[in-house]
Amino acid sequence: MFLSLCPFDNLVCILLGISFTVWFTLLLVFIIVPAIFGVSFGIRRLYMKTLLKIFEWATLRIERGAKEKNHPLYKPYSNAIIAREPTSLEQEIKEIRRSGSNRDFDSASEFEMSDIFYFARRGVESIMDDEVTKRFSAEELESWNLLTRSNYNFHYISLRLTVLWGLGLLIRYGFLLPLRVTLAFTGVGLLVFLTSVIGLLPNGRMKNFLSEKVHLMCYRICVRALTAIITYHDSENKPKNGGICVANHTSPIDVIILASDGCYAMVGQIHGGLMGVIQRSMVKACPHIWFERSEVKDRHLVAKRLSDHVEDKSKLPILIFPEGTCINNTSVMMFKKGSFEIGATVYPVAIKYDPRFGDAFWNSSKFGMVNYLLRMMSSWAIVCSVWYLPPMSREEGEDAVQFANRVKAAIARQGGLVDLLWDGGLKRGKVKDTFKEEQQKLYSKMLVGTQEDRSRS
């Protein structure tokens, strides 16, 4: 019995050995070597086109199946519940009063009981649909991309569709995920190892040159680890030394996407664990700006370190995400003014993900980092567009907040995102009372303002 197992064992060993070698060679030739030199075979784009055709077919199939069974389909995009018009408080209350009043002239009386309708209506409208809370959860898709996580209509529609979905599952978890995890480990491992080695070199042009190459190479491997298909637009506007690059924030992957096309100095808090190891070795090769947890609160310290870095023209441009938190890529929220006070040239960058292939938004209240990365690596692909916008500087008579809003508007316009004034911090915190006080002030002016007119006449 023992003898009969041996030849079988040998066969298995040989097969394993061969498949391993083949696997590794393919990996090296098609993925790692192009990453080192920054060229691409175009495999990912072909993959993307094929997927799109399959998704279209799947959506048509679902629609047809739903029609046959007389099931009304749930279509998120075409189902906005209410239409809201942005009119001012004064205008609307005047409208309500005018329609109920006998008086002909346009002067508003001091208080009408019907004024309450304005506030009640606004309140109920915001209960049914508001601009802010929906930005903190993943965007809803119009067509199905064969991932259960984004499906709202998945009842058993047809055998073919289920088979396709099952096949997709197999490919994603059986083939793509292990491949990507291997690549990710390779990329990160190389980054830590090589930057530590470069750190041993004396400061000078050679060190900077090597550091740049190493960073780019490792980020490119990481890009392939996510099967990220990125289109860069207007590369002539790429950030230069001594500038600050600002971009809208959707996920930690934003960093990888930008850093694989240019070299930046990162800013952030020092973490523990694996993140901390990576951060500490990166800073050996070229100066990044890492803060201790206690230093983060000290705005003066932060501003000083940023300005010092920016003044040294030999240092790389700083990469900052002024929203301060991840937003779901349908809108841009308030930019924190800190980075706009420094007075350096700002290079805005807009990043827009295509959610059909995999939603990149990191909902940090729902998923931890590891869970998130696994979800990313088991999606079909991450497809996004990056626009480098022309540099902007603060103008005469403009303060930091106005400058920040101007940059934000430019980014929102380019990326096709909604420009919101709300603070991304609302994801976790409560809204400030000052906004309510503003509304109260506006309304009081309506009541009291007319009293002054009365006393005059």
Partner 1 sequence: MGSRASTLLREEEIEEIKKETGFSHSQITRLYSRFTSLDKGENGTLSREDFQRIPELAINPLGDRIINAFFPEGEDQVNFRGFMRTLAHFRPIEDNEKNKNYSGDFIAFRLYDLDRDDKISRDELLQVLRMMVGVNISDEQLGSIADRTIQEADTNGDNSISFNEFIKVLEKVDVEQKMSIRFLH
Angle (CA) 299-258-212 rounded to 5° is 95
Name which of 143 and 385 has its Cβ closer to partner 1: 143
Find the Cα–Cα–Cα–Cα dihedral 87, 89, 91, 92, rounded to 10°: 80
Name which of 67 and 121 has its Cβ closer to partner 1: 121
Q: Give the tokens for residue 293.
A: 């947890």
Residue 337, SS3? helix
Name which of 130 and 292 has its Cβ closer to partner 1: 130
Find the Cα–Cα–Cα–Cα dihedral 247, 250, 252, 255, rounded to 10°: -30
| Residues binding partner 1 (CB under 8 A) | 72, 74, 76, 79-85, 95-96, 99-102, 110-111, 113-117, 119-134, 137-138, 140, 148-153, 422, 426, 430-431, 435-441, 443-445, 447-448, 451
| Entry field: residues in the chain | 457
Name which of 72 and 273 has its Cβ closer to partner 1: 72
We find the least distance from the C-beta atom of residue 276 to partner 1, in angstroms, to be: 31
Q: How many CB atoms lie within 10 A of CB 38?
A: 12
Q: Give the tokens for residue 355.
A: 């959610």
We find the least distance from the C-beta atom of residue 60 to partner 1, in angstroms, to be: 19
- Report the alpha-carbon distance of residue 153 to residue 71 in Å, rounded: 10
We find the least distance from the C-beta atom of residue 430 to partner 1, in angstroms, to be: 7
We find the least distance from the C-beta atom of residue 354 to partner 1, in angstroms, to be: 19
Name which of 131 and 212 has its Cβ closer to partner 1: 131
Q: Give the tokens for residue 35.
A: 């990453």
CA nearest neighbour of 247 among 414, 127, 372: 414
We find the least distance from the C-beta atom of residue 97 to partner 1, in angstroms, to be: 8
Name which of 4 and 457 has its Cβ closer to partner 1: 457
On whether the CB atoms of residues 348 and 196 are closer than 8 A, the answer is no
Name which of 5 and 113 has its Cβ closer to partner 1: 113
Q: Give the tokens for residue 20.
A: 């391993």
We find the least distance from the C-beta atom of residue 101 to partner 1, in angstroms, to be: 7
- Report the alpha-carbon distance of residue 336 to residue 343 in Å, rounded: 15
We find the least distance from the C-beta atom of residue 399 to partner 1, in angstroms, to be: 24
We find the least distance from the C-beta atom of residue 132 to partner 1, in angstroms, to be: 5
Find the Cα–Cα–Cα–Cα dihedral 13, 17, 19, 25, rounded to 10°: 180
- Report the alpha-carbon distance of residue 443 to residue 449 in Å, rounded: 10
Q: How many CB atoms lie within 10 A of CB 428?
A: 10
We find the least distance from the C-beta atom of residue 366 to partner 1, in angstroms, to be: 9
Name which of 12 and 431 has its Cβ closer to partner 1: 431
Which amino acid does the sequence have at 362?
A: W
Name which of 115 and 323 has its Cβ closer to partner 1: 115
Q: Give the tokens for residue 421.
A: 């004034």
Name which of 78 and 294 has its Cβ closer to partner 1: 78
Radius of gyration of the chain (CA): 28
We find the least distance from the C-beta atom of residue 111 to partner 1, in angstroms, to be: 5
On whether the CB atoms of residues 352 and 416 are closer than 8 A, the answer is yes
Q: Give the tokens for residue 86.
A: 């942005």
Name which of 89 and 303 has its Cβ closer to partner 1: 89
- Sign of the four-CA dihedral 9, 11, 12, 18: positive
We find the least distance from the C-beta atom of residue 81 to partner 1, in angstroms, to be: 5
- Report the alpha-carbon distance of residue 18 to residue 11 in Å, rounded: 11
Which residue carries 């991450």 as its tokens? 382
Name which of 88 and 99 has its Cβ closer to partner 1: 99
We find the least distance from the C-beta atom of residue 400 to partner 1, in angstroms, to be: 23
Q: Give the tokens for residue 431.
A: 């809204």
Q: Give the tokens for residue 126.
A: 């915001």
DSSP 8-state secondary structure symbol assigned to residue 241: T
Q: In Å, how far are 92, 94, 132 from 119, measured between CA atoms?
A: 10, 13, 19
- Report the alpha-carbon distance of residue 37 to residue 156 in Å, rounded: 47
